[in-house]
Chain A
């Protein structure tokens, strides 16, 4: 059983560009959350998707948007990239009925030049 998978593993973009990151949840999971982890910091909650809707959102600007598909996979989109967006982006999945058990993927390392 594959755990949470994310693609790509690494990405380099320039300021002002747009990026799309992808996440496939653990088999059977229906809820996907996205986190941003800057170097040397703890993960910061971006938003959470369930039933293809954004259910909860952290303190991130509208440049950060997402989507969940009928197969529960999810995308994170970031527009107008800033240097400060350079970070590890983590996806975590869980069952909405068992929120304590949240599994993280290995992350996508984004570098903005």
Chain B
């Protein structure tokens, strides 16, 4: 079953606007929450990530907000640009003594119009 639920499925934002993508999870064993950006024909690329002991992390125009009690986290893209048009995936990591695995959401297709 999907361990990380992502919404919306698609998003259209005007250039200069704010894009917001939300994710929710149930497994409290997750210890790391990255966001990936994927362009057509490419593999996902790490965009920004956060640990659950931090409520917000900002890198340039990208910000993650994390609400541990609600088990939710979100990606905000400020001043969205047409070049940001891509599919975005949230993910959550499980880690054990032997290894780790990323659990991905279903993705959000973002289109930034000029």
Contact = CB atoms under 8 A, between A and B. Distances in A.
Q: Do A and B bind each other?
A: yes
Interface of A: 4, 31, 33, 35, 40-45, 48, 50, 55-56, 58, 90, 92, 99-107
Taking chain A's interface residues, is the majority helix, strand, or loop, or is none over half, making it mixed?
Answer: strand
Contacts, number: 60
B114 interface: no
30 contacts: A31-B99, A33-B101, A40-B106, A42-B4, A42-B89, A42-B107, A43-B89, A43-B102, A43-B104, A44-B104, A48-B100, A48-B101, A55-B98, A55-B99, A56-B98, A56-B99, A58-B101, A90-B43, A90-B44, A92-B43, A99-B95, A99-B100, A103-B46, A104-B36, A104-B43, A104-B44, A104-B45, A106-B42, A106-B43, A107-B43
B25 to A, nearest CB: 13
- Grouping DSSP codes into helix (H, G, I), strand (E, B) and loop, the B interface class, with mixed when no group exceeds half, is strand
Interface residues of B, number: 27
Given A40-B107, A99-B95, A56 B100 contact: yes
Residue from A35, A42, A55, A107 having most chain B Cβ neighbours under 10 A? A42
A24 to B, nearest CB: 13
B34 interface: yes
Contact of A41 (B32, B41, B107): B107
A43 B32 CA distance: 17
A35 B105 CA distance: 13
Nearest to B44: A104
B69 interface: no
Contacts of A4: 43
B1 to A, nearest CB: 9
B103 interface: yes
Nearest to A6: B43
Contact of B104 (A31, A42, A101, A107): A42
